[in-house]
Amino acid sequence: MMIVLVEDDDNKARQIISFLSVEFKGLLVEHRKSYTSGLKAIRELKPILVLLDMSLPNYDGEISSTEGGKFRSYGGRDILYQLSRRGADVRVLVVTQYDSFSSEANAKSLETLAEELGNEFPQHFIGAVFYSASQDDWKNRISDHLEKVLPK
């Protein structure tokens, strides 16, 4: 079984991958760092599940440089839109370290965003998990979602 992790923060990605390798033995995790490489991996690899950050650079590259291109505050939503548009058969769990999101004058909480994503993409979106490097409760929340989605 394979999942794709789309996450631009290396430390967060390492922690998630380490956790998954211990708790879900035999699960292959493919890591991508941007909107473009994430969408391509999902399309080509056809994973059973995607763990998706909400805010992503357009392209792989150093965040501190211009290599990553324009930063997408709602890059995860854009990926969900593309999956829906293309009729992809994959479930998506958003894992983010932000509890609120904004673009221009539009700010919303993670709970509000999760409700919107559930309504907009019910065939894909299974939930949102708040990630914090200093706490471990995100692990239980990811486990709960994965146990519902992964075949026994």
pLDDT digits (tens, 9 = 90+) for 113-141: 899 999 999 999 999 999 999 999 999 99
pLDDT of residue 144 exceeding 70, the answer is yes
pLDDT of residue 68 exceeding 90, the answer is no
Give CA torsion, residues 95, 104, 61, 47, to 10 deg: 30
Tell me the whole-structure pTM to 2 decimals. 0.89
Q: Tokens 């991996």 map to which residue?
A: 41
Please state the φ and ψ torsions of residue 103, each to the nearest 5 degrees.
-140, 120
In percent, how much of the chain has pLDDT > 90?
Answer: 72
Sign of CA dihedral 114, 15, 30, 9: positive
Q: Tokens 């997408």 map to which residue?
A: 72
Across-strand partners of 66? none
Strand locations in the chain (E): 2-6, 28-32, 49-52, 56-57, 71-72, 91-96, 100-103, 106-109, 125-130
pLDDT of residue 143 exceeding 60, the answer is yes
The mean pLDDT of 100-120, rounded to a whole number, is: 79
